[in-house]
């Protein structure tokens, strides 16, 4: 299992990789991570629209 985090694009510069308060999930891939995040935080993710992405956490 890998660790994934929600990254938010607050300023329009995606390469910044800002992230939202350390929310993480364990999943086998990004698709499974998205499903887990969406089950827990559907309202928040809908509010972000296209301004977020799911990414693997390095070195964990």
Spans of all domains in the chain = 2-56
Residue-wise pLDDT tens digits, 29-43: 999 998 998 898 888
Higher pLDDT, 2 or 12: 2
pLDDT of residue 38: 86
Strand partners for 25? 4
pLDDT of residue 43: 83
Whether the CB-CB separation of 54 and 7 falls below 8 Å is answered with: yes
Residue-wise pLDDT tens digits, 4-29: 988 776 655 555 555 656 678 899 99
């Amino acid at each position: 299992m890998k660790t994934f985090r929600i990254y938010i694009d607050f300023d329009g510069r995606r390469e910044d990789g800002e992230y939202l308060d350390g929310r993480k999930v364990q999943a086998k891939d990004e698709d499974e991570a998205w499903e887990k995040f969406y089950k827990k935080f559907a309202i928040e993710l809908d509010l972000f629209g296209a301004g977020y992405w799911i990414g693997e956490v390095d070195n964990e």
